[in-house]
């Protein structure tokens, strides 16, 4: 493009003093033509526009033309002018540091001079442009910006005031921390009092901007706001009855945030705030009612919730329940009147990305498996997830759920009278909301609901056959929330009818119902575990039939239901007739999918559970599955290497493929045990594992250490030659900053020690200090503590001479972290190690002997030779200190410990 360039030869200083920049007419026409073309729907035209823009960006004053069109060319239509500003904004984002100072200054000046343009669209565009410039670190180098904008707020001209406020609001959103910093001499000290004055402005738009600006500083507890907090709260109260919905929304938002950070200031007014929020939660404008409804969610997390809200439940509960109905708009968006859609293919954007949860090795506890808090139940993921945006229905349901957890059964007197009318209503929308209410209170009000459940459950199960799909799907979710109770009853009373109906719903003609039923069934499987064994044939027939029926999105949920079934019934699945049903469709899917298809993730996870459950029953299928996993790991590593060497030519790989493949290999090693030997022998998995263990991504390392531990247990001869290379890497990963990586590395070291025996000696020094440091750290998660204690014990078992000198440094936390786990092989080997170390270094345990006694007493039934080891140590200690000292020492024992030691070991 031949841009007129003669003007650019004038030195900049002269140009600015002599005359203000003026566009060349021909250049201006070219820019306008470009803006017109860029509004064309034709993709070829669009591509040409992109190329033209690239070329024009070589000319520094192209940006002058863009700002000129935005601010000066009032003859052009607004969309074209605004577009010019948005292209300029993108240029600022990409190339601002290369703008000549004269160009940057011209743009800034034009912005400030035209912030009051009569057109709201142009004002907003200029506001966005100003914020983009400030986000380039320009707040410091544009010192007149904030004072000028604040000054323009005083303008008599509405447009100027509104435009300046719009720009300030965007700056407050983007740079709230900087505005409070010394770098700018804390402009907030002036801005906050200024904003507060505008809460009384006659224009609702200005009032709304003013509150929105101040609201940006609540969560960060900006000092300037805290200094004016009482004025702020009074000003908010004054706006409580504002007729403008945007103002009311911002007032509600402010109060919700203040509840979180300055509840002390709200407590004196709490009664009237609650009254206000009760009204606003019923506001005709859903944006307002949604903001107000957040108040109950936030209040439920405050310690004073019960005290301040008890008297208001009688008003609040009906409001929340009413908010849980689908709105007319929801029903249209959810196609609530479409009953059969199972043949309609899914659109790709409906399918949420799935995240694979990498394998973490945990121990069996008293209360079942896993770490507490791991199983975070996303409440109310029951409904409308295609509208996954937050709405009043979801917020009301979430609020009722958290309040049920605060008030427990005290909520029921307010709810039960309402529920009857809802659940038996002839209007399906009301009936549906009643079923949602029942589900929302399941966790908090379980105790109080028990007397009603024998009657309610059959009614809910009947709702699974309702003619409305949205009623059937919510019934699935609500029933899953009561699965724990169902399983605690005799199977014929509720479990069998529930399972029968849920399985029918898995084959429903409506996709939403299929999805809800599949998820609910997975929850039921987790609760029922082996209770499902008698029905396995029936369950598998249904799940396998669904394979041929489901569209893309629900297939992914089906894999999850099958994997959960395998986890829940374990080896009971290993029957020829079950394998015949289940494996052919799974393997058919496995062969259909390409190596780069993300649907492999859920399928690999599912197969991993199935392989672990089937054990030897998986042997006929293991070879192709094993080979493919190795290929996936190899491909991903190769792609990562090419990307690292030539990032400009290659794309970064999606390492989830490798992580999921490593986890399935772990499942195979765990399920097949020694039978995996042949597969490992014929592959290069150990070389690949060496690379994976050094991957920069923690999740890759986490899964590779889990696999290393599983291969160590299954086929150690293949692992042994690599130990000298592997141990230093394991030692480096004993870093609790990455909990799961550290946990799996620790576990693998313990498994290797058990296989190596005394040959472990050269490697103890690489890992012992880190392990001792981890076991003594405050706030280390329980799983990591237990695994660390077991590995230290195992190292001491195979190399007592090397480990026992440090005994005194770890014996106390060692004992306290292992007293709570069940008797098992890992605990057995660790305690043998501790006994052997005490044999080598008895002085190391003397100061903490009471902890050792307590740990010994935690065994229910140790093996005879281990019991003898305990007996010798206890009696040795007693003989050493003498009868009288032992009496004094054992007086400190809690009564239960004293009894157990006396009964089991005669001390």
Per-residue pLDDT tens digits for 514-566: 999 999 999 999 999 999 999 999 999 999 999 989 988 999 999 999 999 99
Q: What's phi and psi for 325, nearest 5 deg?
A: -75, 145
* pLDDT tens digits, one per residue of 770-780: 999 999 998 88
- pLDDT higher at 745 or 78: 745
**Cβ distance 897 to 854 under 8 Å?**
yes
Average pLDDT over residues 442-463: 96
Q: Is 776 exposed, middle or buried (0-12, 13-18, 19+ CB in 10 A)?
A: middle
pLDDT band at 2 (very low <50, low <70, confident <90, very high): very low
- Round to whole Å and give the CA distance between 482 and 906: 48
* pLDDT tens digits, one per residue of 351-403: 666 666 677 777 654 433 333 333 333 333 444 444 457 889 999 999 999 99
Q: Tokens 């300037």 sit at which residue?
A: 224
- Round to whole Å and give the CA distance between 631 and 661: 9
- Round to whole Å and give the CA distance between 684 and 503: 43
Number of Cβ within a 10 Å radius of residue 235: 22
**For residue 328, what pLDDT is reported?**
87
Q: Tokens 């140790």 sit at which residue?
A: 862
> What percent of the chain has a predicted confidence (pLDDT) above 90?
68
What distances in angstroms separate CA 224 from CA 151, 218, 745, one per listed residue?
A: 19, 10, 49
- pLDDT higher at 817 or 187: 817
Q: Containing H/E element for 440?
A: helix 428-440
Q: Is the dihedral of CA 615, 616, 619, 620 positive or negative?
A: negative
Q: Containing H/E element for 634?
A: helix 619-645
**Cβ distance 789 to 813 under 8 Å?**
yes
**For residue 185, what pLDDT is reported?**
73
Q: Is 422 exposed, middle or buried (0-12, 13-18, 19+ CB in 10 A)?
A: buried
pLDDT band at 233 (very low <50, low <70, confident <90, very high): very high
- Which residues make Cβ contacts (< 8 Å) with residue 665, sequence separation at least 6? 626, 629, 630, 633, 685, 707, 710
Question: What is the longest distance spanned by two Cα atoms in the chain?
Answer: 109
DSSP conformational letter for 575: -
DSSP conformational letter for 879: H
Q: Is 558 exposed, middle or buried (0-12, 13-18, 19+ CB in 10 A)?
A: buried
* pLDDT, the chain, mean: 89
Average pLDDT over residues 39-60: 82
Helix (H, G, I), strand (E, B) or coil at 818: helix
Query: Which ranges of 137-179 does DSSP label H, i.e. alpha helix?
Result: 145-152, 158-174, 176-179
DSSP conformational letter for 822: P
* pLDDT tens digits, one per residue of 391-440: 899 999 999 999 999 999 999 999 999 998 999 999 999 999 999 999 99
pLDDT band at 228 (very low <50, low <70, confident <90, very high): very high
DSSP conformational letter for 650: S
Question: What does the chain come to in residues?
Answer: 907
pLDDT band at 345 (very low <50, low <70, confident <90, very high): confident
> What percent of the chain has a predicted confidence (pLDDT) above 70?
94
Q: Is the dihedral of CA 849, 852, 856, 858 positive or negative?
A: positive
**Cβ distance 806 to 772 under 8 Å?**
yes
Cα 131 from chain centroid (whole Å): 30
Cα angle value 403/409/412 (rounded, 5°) = 85
The torsion defined by the Cα of 622, 591, 702 and 354, in degrees rounded to 10, comes to -140
**Cβ distance 475 to 436 under 8 Å?**
no
Q: Tokens 């019991």 sit at which residue?
A: 867
Number of Cβ within a 10 Å radius of residue 900: 18
Cα angle value 236/125/253 (rounded, 5°) = 20
pLDDT band at 213 (very low <50, low <70, confident <90, very high): very high
Least confident of 155-169, 383-397, 709-723, 803-817: 383-397
Asked if the model's pLDDT at residue 252 lies above 60, the reply is yes
**For residue 19, what pLDDT is reported?**
59
Average pLDDT over residues 667-672: 92
pTM for this prediction? 0.80
pLDDT band at 90 (very low <50, low <70, confident <90, very high): confident
- Round to whole Å and give the CA distance between 721 and 785: 29
Average pLDDT over residues 314-338: 90
Q: Is 307 exposed, middle or buried (0-12, 13-18, 19+ CB in 10 A)?
A: exposed
pLDDT band at 719 (very low <50, low <70, confident <90, very high): very high
Least confident of 339-353, 368-382, 626-640: 368-382
Q: Containing H/E element for 79?
A: helix 78-95
- Which residues make Cβ contacts (< 8 Å) with residue 234, sequence separation at least 6? none
- Within 13 Å of residue 489, how many CA atoms lie on the same side as its CB? 17
Asked if the model's pLDDT at residue 13 lies above 50, the reply is no
Q: Containing H/E element for 661?
A: helix 656-672
**Cβ distance 461 to 497 under 8 Å?**
yes
């Amino acid at each position: 493009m031949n841009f007129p360039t003669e003007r650019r030869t004038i030195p900049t200083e002269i140009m600015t003093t002599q005359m203000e920049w003026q566009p060349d007419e021909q250049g201006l026409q070219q820019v306008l033509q470009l803006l017109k073309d860029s509004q064309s729907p034709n993709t070829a035209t669009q591509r040409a526009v992109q190329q033209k823009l690239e070329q024009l960006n070589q000319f520094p004053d192209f940006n002058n033309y863009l700002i000129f069109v935005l601010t000066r060319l009032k003859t052009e239509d607004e969309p074209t002018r605004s577009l010019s500003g948005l292209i300029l904004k993108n240029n600022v984002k990409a190339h601002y540091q290369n703008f000549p100072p004269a160009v940057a200054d011209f743009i800034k000046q034009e912005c400030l001079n035209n912030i009051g343009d009569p057109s709201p669209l142009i004002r907003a565009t200029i506001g966005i442009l100003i914020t983009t410039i400030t986000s380039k670190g320009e707040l410091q180098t544009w010192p007149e910006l904030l004072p000028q904008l604040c000054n323009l707020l005083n303008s008599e001209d509405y447009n100027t005031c509104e435009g300046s406020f719009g720009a300030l609001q965007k700056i407050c959103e983007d740079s709230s921390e900087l505005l409070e910093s010394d770098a700018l001499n804390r402009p907030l000290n002036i801005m906050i009092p200024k904003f507060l004055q505008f809460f009384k402005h006659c224009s609702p738009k200005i009032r709304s901007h003013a509150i929105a600006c101040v609201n940006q500083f609540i969560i960060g507890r900006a000092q300037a706001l805290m200094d004016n907090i009482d004025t702020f709260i009074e000003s908010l109260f004054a706006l409580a009855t504002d007729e403008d919905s945007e103002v009311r929304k911002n007032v509600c938002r402010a109060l919700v945030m203040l509840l979180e950070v300055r509840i002390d200031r709200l407590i004196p007014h709490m009664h009237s705030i609650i009254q206000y929020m009760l009204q606003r939660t019923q506001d005709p404008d859903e944006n307002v009612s949604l903001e107000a409804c957040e108040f109950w969610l936030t209040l439920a997390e405050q310690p004073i919730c019960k005290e301040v809200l008890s008297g208001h439940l009688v008003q609040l509960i009906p409001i929340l329940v009413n908010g849980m109905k689908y709105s007319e708009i929801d029903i249209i968006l959810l196609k609530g009147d479409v009953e059969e859609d199972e043949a309609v293919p899914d659109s790709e954007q409906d399918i949420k990305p799935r995240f694979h949860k990498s394998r973490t090795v945990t121990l069996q506890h008293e209360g079942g498996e896993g770490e507490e808090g791991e199983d975070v139940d996303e409440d109310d993921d029951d409904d409308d997830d295609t509208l996954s945006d937050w709405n009043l229905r979801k917020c009301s349901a979430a609020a009722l759920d958290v309040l049920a957890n605060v008030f427990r059964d005290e909520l029921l007197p307010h709810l039960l009278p309402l529920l009857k009318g809802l659940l038996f209503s002839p209007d399906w929308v009301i009936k549906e909301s009643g079923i949602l209410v029942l589900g929302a209170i399941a966790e908090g009000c379980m105790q109080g609901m028990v007397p009603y459940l024998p009657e309610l459950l059959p009614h809910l199960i009947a709702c699974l056959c309702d003619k409305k799909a949205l009623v059937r799907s919510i019934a699935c979710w609500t029933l899953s929330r009561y699965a724990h109770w169902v399983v605690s009853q005799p199977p014929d009373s509720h479990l069998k009818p529930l399972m029968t109906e849920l399985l029918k719903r898995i084959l429903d003609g409506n996709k939403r119902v299929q999805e809800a039923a599949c998820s609910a069934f997975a929850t039921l499987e987790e609760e029922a575990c082996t209770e499902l064994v008698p029905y396995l044939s029936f369950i598998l027939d249904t799940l396998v039939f669904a394979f041929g029926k489901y569209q893309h999105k629900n297939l992914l949920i089906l894999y999850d239901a099958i994997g959960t079934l395998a986890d829940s019934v374990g080896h009971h699945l290993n029957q020829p007739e079950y394998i015949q049903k289940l494996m052919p469709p799974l393997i058919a899917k496995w062969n259909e999918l390409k190596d780069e298809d993300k649907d492999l993730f859920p399928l690999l996870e599912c197969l991993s559970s199935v392989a672990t459950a089937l054990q030897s029953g998986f042997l006929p299928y293991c070879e192709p599955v094993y080979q493919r996993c190795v290929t996936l790991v190899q491909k991903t590593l190769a792609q990562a290497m090419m990307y690292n060497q030539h990032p400009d030519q290659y794309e970064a790989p999606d390492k989830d493929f490798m992580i999921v493949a490593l986890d399935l290999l772990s499942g195979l090693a765990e399920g097949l045990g020694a039978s995996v030997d042949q597969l490992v022998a014929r592959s290069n998995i150990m070389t690949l594992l060496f690379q994976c263990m050094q991957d920069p991504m923690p999740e890759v390392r986490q899964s590779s250490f889990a696999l290393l531990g599983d291969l160590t247990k299954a086929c150690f001869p293949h692992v042994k030659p690599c130990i000298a290379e592997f141990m230093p890497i394991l030692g480096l990963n004993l870093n609790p900053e990455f909990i799961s990586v550290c946990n799996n590395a620790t576990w693998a070291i313990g498994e290797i020690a058990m296989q190596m025996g005394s040959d472990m000696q050269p490697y103890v020094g690489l890992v012992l200090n880190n392990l001792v440091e981890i076991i003594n750290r405050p706030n280390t998660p329980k799983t990591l503590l237990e695994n660390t204690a077991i590995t230290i014990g195992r190292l001491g078992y195979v190399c007592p001479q090397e480990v026992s000198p440090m005994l005194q440094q770890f014996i106390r936390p060692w004992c306290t972290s292992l007293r709570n786990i069940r008797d098992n092989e890992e605990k057995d080997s660790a305690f043998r190690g501790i006994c052997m170390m005490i044999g080598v270094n008895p002085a190391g345990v003397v100061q903490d002997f009471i902890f050792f006694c307590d740990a010994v007493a935690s065994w229910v039934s140790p093996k005879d030779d281990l019991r003898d080891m305990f007996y010798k140590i206890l009696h040795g200690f007693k003989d050493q200190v003498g009868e009288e000292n032992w009496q004094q020492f054992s007086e400190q024992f809690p009564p239960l410990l004293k009894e157990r030691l006396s009964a089991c070991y005669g001390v």
